[in-house]
């Protein structure tokens, strides 16, 4: 695993187009530890808000981000059922950056229970064999330690057909029943390179809640990703950017494919958070097809100049 500085020095040798501005552009040049704006009141709806935290542990950065968004109680009320969608699709250990880190996932579960959730479940329609992916990603351990329900994503009987009338290409889909029936939907992907649409982050992660992902690939992948948002959007998006995979995604080959950025992003605006993720990977948001399409469909804000970015540096 390379540090940010090491990666910048060797980026061209890796065939990357990263720059110091791309990696640090979300953070004010004079950011000080603990700095930033006050917590956001729940009634602030004038602009999309993006919390960007860096240089802390995963749990500390999550605590800071959620506190600045108004606390998990803003999203999860006592007695509600919660479904969390991490990226746990690959038979690969956490250090490879293929999956959402289990420490982060476990802390999200803990915060939901602390807010009064009746139950918390999580799942993924995995690309690798699901039992191996759940074990290698650390998801099984998270479920054991937190009391959350780890639910299979490979059972077609758990999916129900829904209409998506506002979709351009995706007009219907079989969606996992947990997404349809739970009171609160929280999205917790990992930021990484993807050989197809260039980036996998919050929007792309939602492919793991539908049964027939092949339809997306046969019928304009980027448009289908954007179309799904016209049917369902998470209440909260938390993007694990602690050590993003910057090449050979989405699976990766080794720890040499990740770079330590020690960052976490959180927002209710799924387009804004993916636009910020794109910048971290050295991309302009409009280069990621589904980000531009979703913005054009007015499903969120792609122009980060129009987003209230609250920046925090913990160390």
Who wins on pLDDT, 37 or 98?
A: 98
The verdict on residue 128 lying in a domain is yes
**What pLDDT, on a 0 to 100 scale, did the predictor assign at position 249?**
78
The share of the chain scoring above pLDDT 70, in percent, equals: 86
**How far apart are alpha carbons 248 and 98 in whole angstroms?**
10
**Is 160 within 8 Å of 180 (Cβ atoms)?**
yes
pLDDT at 251: 85
- pLDDT by residue (tens digit) across 3-39? 555 544 444 333 344 433 444 456 644 344 554 444 4
Give the three-class secondary structure for 50: strand
CB 158 within 8 A of CB 152: yes
| Averaged pLDDT for residues 207-214 | 96
Instruction: Return left, alpha or beta for 14; rule: phi > 0 is left, psi -120 to 50 is alpha, else beta.
Output: alpha
Domain limits for position 304: 2-184+192-279+300-313
In a domain, 101, yes or no: yes
Euclidean distance between CA atoms 266 and 53, whole angstroms: 9
Cβ atoms of residues 209 and 176 within 8 Å: yes
**% of the chain with per-residue pLDDT over 90:** 83
User: Considering the entire predicted model, what is its pTM?
Assistant: 0.90
Is 15 inside any structural domain? yes
The answer to whether residue 294 sits within a structural domain is no
Whether 226 is in a domain gets the answer yes
Cα–Cα distance for residue pair 27/264, rounded to 1 Å: 12
Residue 11 belongs to some domain of the structure: yes
Average pLDDT over residues 291-315: 97
Task: Answer for the pair 114, 142: CB distance below 8 angstroms, yes or no.
Answer: no
**What is the CATH classification number for the domain harbouring 69?**
3.40.50
CA 63 vs CA 68, 72, 85: distances in Å: 9, 9, 19
Per the domain annotation, does 141 fall within a domain? Answer: yes
Of the candidate ranges 5-14, 234-243, 296-305, the one whose mean pLDDT is the lowest: 5-14
Mean pLDDT for the stretch of residues 89-110? 97
Q: How many CB atoms lie within 10 A of CB 151?
A: 17
Q: Do the Cβ atoms of 241 and 101 come closer than 8 Å? A: no
Reported as a pLDDT band with limits 50, 70 and 90, residue 288 is very high
pLDDT at 1: 56
- Name the domain count of the chain: 1
pLDDT 10s digits, 55-96: 999 999 999 999 999 999 999 999 999 999 999 999 999 999
Rg (CA), the chain: 18
Which residues is 236 bridged to in the sheet? Answer: 186
């Amino acid at each position: 695993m390379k540090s940010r500085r090491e990666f910048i020095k060797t980026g061209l040798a890796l065939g990357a187009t990263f720059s110091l501005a791309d990696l640090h552009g979300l953070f004010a040049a004079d950011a000080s530890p603990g700095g930033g704006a006050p917590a956001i009141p729940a009634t602030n709806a004038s602009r999309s808000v993006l919390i960007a935290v860096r240089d802390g542990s995963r749990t500390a950065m999550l605590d800071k981000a959620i506190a600045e968004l108004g606390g998990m109680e803003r999203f999860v009320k006592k007695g509600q059922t919660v479904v969390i969608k991490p990226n746990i699709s690959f038979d690969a250990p956490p250090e490879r950056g293929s999956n959402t880190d289990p420490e982060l996932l476990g802390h999200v579960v803990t915060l939901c229970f602390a807010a009064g959730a009746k139950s918390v479940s999580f799942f993924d329609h995995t690309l690798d064999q699901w039992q191996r992916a759940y074990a290698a990603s650390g998801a099984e351990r998270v479920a054991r330690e937190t009391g959350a329900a780890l639910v299979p994503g490979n059972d077609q009987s758990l999916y129900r057909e829904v209409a998506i009338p506002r979709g351009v290409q995706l007009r219907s889909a079989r969606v996992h029943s947990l997404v349809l029936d739970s009171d609160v939907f929280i999205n917790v992907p990992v930021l990484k390179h993807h050989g197809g649409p260039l980036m996998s982050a919050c929007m792309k992660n939602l492919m793991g809640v539908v049964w027939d992902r092949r339809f997306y690939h046969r019928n304009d992948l980027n448009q289908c990703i954007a179309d799904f948002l016209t049917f369902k959007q998470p209440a909260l998006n938390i993007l694990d950017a602690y050590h993003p995979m910057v090449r050979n995604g989405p699976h990766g080959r080794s720890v040499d494919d990740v770079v330590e950025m020690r960052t976490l992003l959180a927002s209710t605006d799924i387009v804004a958070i993916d636009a910020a993720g794109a910048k971290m990977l050295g991309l302009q948001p409009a280069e990621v097809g589904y980000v531009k399409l979703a913005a054009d469909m007015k499903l969120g804000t792609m122009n980060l100049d129009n987003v209230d970015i609250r920046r925090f540096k913990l160390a």
